[in-house]
Structure 1
Amino acid sequence: MNLSALRNLNQAKVLVVGDVMLDRYWHGDTGRISPEAPVPVVKVSSLEDKAGGAANVAKNIAHLDGQVGLLGLIGEDDNGRQLESILAKEQIASQLVTVAELPTIAKMRVISRHQQVVRLDLEEPFVHSHSQLLLTRLEQVVNHYDFVLFSDYNKGALTCIEEMIKVAKDAGKTVLIDPKSSDLSRYRGADYITPNLNEFRLAGGDASNEETLTSSARALIKQAGIGAMLLTRSEQGMSLITQDEKHDFAAQVQEVSDVTGAGDTVIATLTTMLGAGFSPSEAVELANLAAGIAVAKLGAATVTPEELSRKLGQYLRQTGEHYQTPYEEVLKHIEFAKQNGETIVFTNGCFDILHAGHVRYLAQAKARGDRLVVGLNNDDSISRLKGPERPINPLNERAMVLSALASVDWVIPFGKESEGDTPAKLIEQISPHILVKGGDYQVSEIAGADHVLAMGGQVEVLAFLDGCSTSNIIAKARETE
């Protein structure tokens, strides 16, 4: 498998259609039992709102750098407006249709000490006339996408799914479905369907052994007129089954923290990878790896291209090839990390010839937070600062070497003469929580420090390793010529 194909993720154009919902979490501590009833009292300390259902599928695609749109039904209420606000921050092109007479579906959970105390569901099923509204909107936007992914949570938005699939197929789109109905004939014409074992059995599948599993899966997809089934099998991994072939993918061994949303991650990753040009078996392999990453996290988690690349490198035991986030995607990834509550650290430099001092310094910078962003002077900037014979290594090669370090999450270039070749403007765009600079600077001398401090962040100065400098290395090399 070619890791460099991950650079095509932003070529995946996916429209998600289905049951959207707002996932709301109240977090707090429990210290006593209520005097009113034998129930724990949770003192709420924080509130967290997330995109749920089909909206979580779209979020997974967005975090994998796919171009994603979302069709769904919401009510004319605060929960619907909050969901739209979340989707905008996630850079999802939402096409949510408002239904005045019904509420936005919301799942409200009270969490204490990492345990769910109670869940409150606010929902009323949408009916055929509401689904018709989505069908009309689908007809209007389907040609903007290459893939249509239907996320069925059995809440009524996909009541007209037969007609919706026909619209997508008539437009020449690849159709994928995460099903809830036991009647798979409702999904006739789909290219891929992704049931779990329970859904497979409810649809009439027999999983008593491998032979009956394969034969019954083929019978089901033939009867329903579906191209292929990706059967997710929990600790047994996944199986991609067509009329002619069956490929099994072993589950990735890790400590499982939470399986919530794992199905969303699987179909989102499968679709995005197909859109990036991977073969079906490669796309399933990547979806399987992504599921392993997601279940090791708490809650309905997403997976980033960087995480997937690292996991894939370990899985294939590759050492020389790695994924470097495209420069134009870095700011988006940083914003997603912030939304996940991660601490962003920023530093900058030329890093013309990477040496031991750089490696130690970057490791120390990363230790200050969760993610390290390195602002990298472009070639023209280095020439102005260091002289016409520099840089020794061009920008893309310097970025590649830095990206290969475990301490570095993202690299982004900067350097305009009009801005004094400083990263001040870039720092304003990123607004890191912590700004780190190496050397013997005063905080007042560090570009961007005033902005970071004004935003409530921190500025730290770290000492360089004595005797290590790029200029010294270049001088020694010239002495031996």
Structure 2
Amino acid sequence: MKLAALQNLHNASILVVGDVMLDRYWHGDTGRISPEAPVPVVKVSSLEDKAGGAANVAKNIAHLDGKVGLLGLIGQDDNGHKLRTILENDNIESQLVAVETLPTIAKMRVISRHQQVVRLDMEEQFQPEHSALLVAQLKQVIDSYDFVLFSDYNKGALANIQEMIEIAKRAGKTVLVDPKLSDLSVYRGADFITPNLNEFKLAGGDASSERTLTESARKLIAEAGIGAMLLTRSEQGMSLISENEKHDFAAQVLEVSDVTGAGDTVIATLTTMLGAGLNAKDAVEMANLAAGIVVGKLGAATVSPEELSAKLSQYLRETGEHYQAPFEDVLQHISFAKQNGEKIVFTNGCFDILHAGHVRYLAQAKAMGDKLVVGLNNDESISRLKGPERPINPLNERAMVISALASVDWVIPFGKEEEGDTPANLIATISPDILVKGGDYKVEEIAGAEHVLAQGGQVEVLSFLDGCSTSNVIKKAQLSKS
């Protein structure tokens, strides 16, 4: 059921409302101390802008293929314009409201050798009259979504959150809140609330034992008029607590690299999975797995459906099932991976009957980067290349087999002759960092090589495993029949 839900992620229709921010990172090396003051000198080599706060929650939903809109406050400034551009690239429906007198909230971080040297915050508190602008906008767009997720960083955008929740509930929406305030009654009417352990204690929760934790959690949500609490407990995992039930989920991570944004991933995944049709317990289980993935990455990262599928298969003791991204979604997933700084490797072929040579070749290709894309000849193009008796296996079956390999992240078909659907055109669309081809080709003979090299990428030629070919497999099968 949980794996099947990954095929329904597009059904999740979610409006995120809250405190949006621009996260800006300056990366560089540190080699000396400033002569002006006892501080390190960082020679900046790159600048990176990311969606932060509630915008990062929306980004997590978008990267899970959910339909997501974002409602928040920005300033009429360059940072606000930059944030709008980021949201557009992330396939997020921007509902941002610009305030003339205040700046877009921005967090500026200087990073050297994976260490944060200093953070500069540019912000002023939004006031209730600014939050009222969001109330008016919420009334305009509420009918376009099934879920409303409030992401509270206590920056003022949600000063009127009680009125917003009432609007959402009157419209029949499921409401989730990632809280910041210690008075949980402010979030009255929410179906789910997701405090971390520290926020839980500040709200009056008692975590001295499992019994007191459960009892105090139930008391808090009952007094506040909230349906259920998903308590995130760091290395202790998570607990879903309602009036009559409690479900505990062990942490699913071996090594923690960075917990930044993990709470955003949890509530984003929970909401998306509820939107995909899972019940609360199963949706939390998926959110717990997503948290285990994201804390193993640096910075405020996101989780893809492919990563979640792989983690879930391990968690379920390798069921043999897997998630195959719909062909029409693959280009968007590749774009998201590039935004995360991942190196894209591309190769293409027929892969009609999978054999040992294919498996070794694809594993070698994947080892050159972070994500491997396989361009797969459609049935018509194989028939043109190999003859009318081929392919042996149709496109969908070949795609299923190839995508199930641990080395392959995405499969995308090509070969529609009337549309000029060639490998070179597909490669130009994807613009991989590395183009890999098997055989004894010269680089200049490889389709798409010119484009990849022009974009600063590299082209690699790998040798095939001797004696392994689809033609040989077919010949052996024919001989055995005779």
Would you say same fold, with TM above 0.5? Answer: yes
Runs of 4+ in 1 over 6 A off after TM superposition: none
Give the C-alpha shift of residue 413 in structure 1: 0.7
1:298 aligns with 2:306: no
Corresponding residue number in structure 1 for 2:466: 466
Corresponding residue number in structure 2 for 1:310: 310
Corresponding residue number in structure 2 for 1:233: 233
Give secondary structure in 2 for the equivalent of 1:43. Answer: strand
Corresponding residue number in structure 2 for 1:389: 389
C-alpha separation between the residues in 1 aligned to 2:169 and 2:228? Answer: 15
1:478 aligns with 2:478: yes
Task: Summarize the Cα distance change of 1:390–1:234 in structure 2 as closer, same or farther, 3 Å threshold.
Answer: same
Give the C-alpha shift of residue 461 in structure 1: 2.1
C-alpha separation between the residues in 1 aligned to 2:442 and 2:28? Answer: 41
Corresponding residue number in structure 2 for 1:320: 320
C-alpha separation between the residues in 2 aligned to 1:421 and 1:176? Answer: 44
Q: How does 1:227-266 map to 2 (within 5 A)?
A: 227-266=227-266
Task: Summarize the Cα distance change of 1:472–1:228 in structure 2 as closer, same or farther, 3 Å threshold.
Answer: same
Corresponding residue number in structure 2 for 1:374: 374
Task: Summarize the Cα distance change of 1:420–1:128 in structure 2 as closer, same or farther, 3 Å threshold.
Answer: closer
Give secondary structure in 1 for the equivalent of 2:95. Answer: strand
* 8 A Cα contact 1:76 1:98, kept in partner: yes
CA-to-aligned-CA distance 1:142-200 (integer Å, 9 cap, x gap): 11111110000000000110111111111111100000111111111111000011111
1:329 aligns with 2:329: yes
Corresponding residue number in structure 1 for 2:409: 409
Give the C-alpha shift of residue 421 in structure 1: 6.2
Give the C-alpha shift of residue 419 in structure 1: 5.4
Give secondary structure in 2 for the equivalent of 1:459. Answer: strand
Corresponding residue number in structure 2 for 1:442: 442
Q: Which amino acid aligns with 2:273?
A: M
Task: Summarize the Cα distance change of 1:471–1:134 in structure 2 as closer, same or farther, 3 Å threshold.
Answer: same
C-alpha separation between the residues in 2 aligned to 1:93 and 1:383? Answer: 42
C-alpha separation between the residues in 2 aligned to 1:208 and 1:393? Answer: 60
Corresponding residue number in structure 2 for 1:76: 76
Corresponding residue number in structure 1 for 2:173: 173
Task: Summarize the Cα distance change of 1:421–1:147 in structure 2 as closer, same or farther, 3 Å threshold.
Answer: closer
Give the C-alpha shift of residue 453 in structure 1: 2.4
Give secondary structure in 2 for the equivalent of 1:166. Answer: helix
Task: Summarize the Cα distance change of 1:420–1:477 in structure 2 as closer, same or farther, 3 Å threshold.
Answer: farther
C-alpha separation between the residues in 2 aligned to 1:452 and 1:39? Answer: 42
* 8 A Cα contact 2:2 2:282, kept in partner: no
Q: How does 1:65-464 map to 2 (within 5 A)?
A: 65-418=65-418, 422-464=422-464
- What is the number of residues matched between the two proteins? 481
C-alpha separation between the residues in 1 aligned to 2:230 and 2:89? Answer: 31
* 8 A Cα contact 2:346 2:436, kept in partner: yes
* 8 A Cα contact 1:238 1:251, kept in partner: yes
Give secondary structure in 2 for the equivalent of 1:42. Answer: strand
* 8 A Cα contact 2:190 2:226, kept in partner: yes
Give secondary structure in 2 for the equivalent of 1:480. Answer: helix
Give the C-alpha shift of residue 278 in structure 1: 1.2
1:50 aligns with 2:50: yes
C-alpha separation between the residues in 1 aligned to 2:417 and 2:260? Answer: 49
* 8 A Cα contact 2:301 2:340, kept in partner: no
CA-to-aligned-CA distance 1:399-441 (integer Å, 9 cap, x gap): 1111111111100111112356632221121111121111222
Give the C-alpha shift of residue 81 in structure 1: 0.8
* 8 A Cα contact 1:381 1:421, kept in partner: no
1:40 aligns with 2:68: no
Q: Which amino acid aligns with 2:85?
A: S
C-alpha separation between the residues in 2 aligned to 1:328 and 1:299? Answer: 29
Corresponding residue number in structure 2 for 1:15: 15
RMSD: 1.3
C-alpha separation between the residues in 2 aligned to 1:216 and 1:273? Answer: 27
Q: Which amino acid aligns with 1:30?
A: T
C-alpha separation between the residues in 1 aligned to 2:45 and 2:239? Answer: 43
C-alpha separation between the residues in 2 aligned to 1:253 and 1:423? Answer: 39
C-alpha separation between the residues in 2 aligned to 1:136 and 1:25? Answer: 33
Task: Summarize the Cα distance change of 1:230–1:392 in structure 2 as closer, same or farther, 3 Å threshold.
Answer: same
Q: Which stretches in structure 2 are left out of the alignment for 5+ residues?
A: none
Task: Summarize the Cα distance change of 1:113–1:455 in structure 2 as closer, same or farther, 3 Å threshold.
Answer: closer
C-alpha separation between the residues in 2 aligned to 1:420 and 1:104? Answer: 45
Task: Summarize the Cα distance change of 1:2–1:38 in structure 2 as closer, same or farther, 3 Å threshold.
Answer: closer
Q: Which amino acid aligns with 2:317?
A: R
Task: Summarize the Cα distance change of 1:74–1:238 in structure 2 as closer, same or farther, 3 Å threshold.
Answer: same
* 8 A Cα contact 1:110 1:118, kept in partner: yes
Give the C-alpha shift of residue 4 in structure 1: 2.4
Give the C-alpha shift of residue 212 in structure 1: 1.3
Give secondary structure in 2 for the equivalent of 1:348. Answer: strand
C-alpha separation between the residues in 2 aligned to 1:348 and 1:76? Answer: 46
Give the C-alpha shift of residue 368 in structure 1: 2.0
Give secondary structure in 1 for the equivalent of 2:298. Answer: coil
Q: Which amino acid aligns with 1:59?
A: K
Give the C-alpha shift of residue 5 in structure 1: 2.0
Give secondary structure in 1 for the equivalent of 2:96. Answer: strand
> Percent sequence identity over matched residues?
81
Give the C-alpha shift of residue 447 in structure 1: 2.0
Give the C-alpha shift of residue 38 in structure 1: 1.8
Give the C-alpha shift of residue 119 in structure 1: 0.9
* 8 A Cα contact 1:4 1:322, kept in partner: no
C-alpha separation between the residues in 2 aligned to 1:139 and 1:64? Answer: 26
C-alpha separation between the residues in 2 aligned to 1:253 and 1:24? Answer: 27
TM-score, normalised with respect to structure 1: 0.98
CA-to-aligned-CA distance 1:316-341 (integer Å, 9 cap, x gap): 11241111111111001100111111
* 8 A Cα contact 1:23 1:106, kept in partner: yes
Q: Which stretches in structure 1 are left out of the alignment for 5+ residues?
A: none
